[in-house]
Structures are given as structure tokens and as C-alpha cells.
């Protein structure tokens, strides 16, 4: 996708700074969030078994539940433990033809998962040994590896701790 350049890029950057000044409050002035955290992120998959094999067998995220979706007969709803009492959920919709993944407004660009250095190194080794395609560490980001699951969902294994971004502690 074409990136803004020249005057257009400067306008985008000026707008971002305007938004930062208007809405980003200093840490001591921010209200407490009213939620406890992400219970689960629910995504759509093409194939239940392929998705389970990828997340549990390849990435090591334990499958913790597999039930029928209460809103769509025959559809499966299943969850993986992604740490911190957070879950990654999936639905399938048998009989529904889903288009291929594409980056679009309202879509998931990627899900960044905090991972310790030892696990990051193990994942990278496994990816290299199996020929699994990924990007990183590159693009000026030494802490990340980016890849897509069998459904096209973008994932990032990110070596920073939860609540941190780009070396800065954002959330206590």
C-alpha cells in the first residue's frame, strides 16, 4: 500500500501531534480503566482442526475449551490460553464461504503477544528449522517477529513486558 510522502506525510504527522496534545494525558492524570482486561479476542477460522494444530501443537498455546457456538448451530467456539488469564478465541461457521484475509478498516492488523526471551528464541529456532515464514527481527524492531496463522491473522511475538512499548513503561 502506498505510504504518504512529502507534504502529505507532514500533514499526517502534524495531525498525530495535535491528537497527542489534545488527548494523551500524563500518567499521573489518567483515570483508572474501568475494565479488568481482555477476557478473549474472538476471531473467525476456516478450519477448526488446522487452527488447533497451529496454535496448540505448533505455537504451544493450550486449548482450554471447545464447545458449540450458542449463536450458530454446528459452529464451534474454542479458546486458547495466551497467558495472564487472557484467551484467544475462534469460531468457525460451517456453510459460510469466507473471503481470503485482507487488511481493511475494522479488521485485525495483528495481535502482539508478550513473550519472554527464552520462548522468543525457541520460537525463532522452531520457525527456522521448519521453514515457517516470518519477518523479524527487522524493520527497525529488534523485539518482534511477525507472521500469519493459517487463517491470515497477523501475529507478533513481542519480547517486551506487558504494559511496555518501545522501551517505555506505559501501564502499571
Rg for the chain, CA atoms, rounded: 19
Is 7's pLDDT higher than 70? yes
Element (H, E) at 112: strand 111-114
The pTM for the full model equals 0.86
Exposed e or buried b for every residue in 104-129, given b needs 16+ CB within 10 A?
Answer: eeeeeeeebbbbeeeebeebbeebee
Cell of 105: 478498516
The chain-wide mean pLDDT, for the chain, equals 92
Residue 142: pLDDT band with limits 50, 70, 90: confident
Residue 139: pLDDT band with limits 50, 70, 90: low
Least confident of 49-58, 67-76, 88-97, 162-171: 162-171
Residue 152: pLDDT band with limits 50, 70, 90: very high
What proportions of the chain, in percent to the nearest 5, are helix, strand and coil?
25, 25, 50
Residue 140: pLDDT band with limits 50, 70, 90: low
Is 16's pLDDT higher than 90? yes
Question: CB count, 10 Å around CB of 165?
Answer: 13
Amino acid at each position: 500500500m502506498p505510504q504518504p510522502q512529502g507534504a502529505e506525510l507532514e500533514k499526517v504527522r502534524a495531525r498525530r501531534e495535535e491528537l497527542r496534545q489534545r488527548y494523551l494525558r500524563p500518567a499521573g492524570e489518567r483515570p483508572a480503566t474501568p475494565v479488568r482486561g481482555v477476557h478473549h479476542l474472538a476471531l473467525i477460522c476456516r478450519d477448526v482442526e488446522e487452527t488447533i494444530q497451529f496454535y496448540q501443537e505448533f505455537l504451544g498455546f493450550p486449548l482450554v475449551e471447545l464447545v458449540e457456538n450458542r449463536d450458530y448451530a454446528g459452529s464451534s467456539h474454542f479458546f486458547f490460553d495466551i497467558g495472564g488469564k487472557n484467551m484467544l478465541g475462534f469460531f468457525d461457521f460451517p456453510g459460510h464461504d469466507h473471503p481470503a484475509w485482507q487488511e481493511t478498516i475494522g479488521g485485525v492488523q495483528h495481535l502482539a503477544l508478550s513473550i519472554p526471551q527464552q520462548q522468543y528464541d525457541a520460537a525463532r529456532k522452531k520457525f527456522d528449522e521448519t521453514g515457517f515464514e516470518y519477518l523479524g527481527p527487522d524493520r527497525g524492531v529488534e523485539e518482534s517477529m511477525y507472521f500469519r496463522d493459517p487463517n491470515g491473522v497477523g501475529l507478533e511475538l513481542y519480547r517486551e513486558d506487558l504494559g511496555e512499548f518501545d522501551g517505555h513503561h506505559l501501564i502499571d
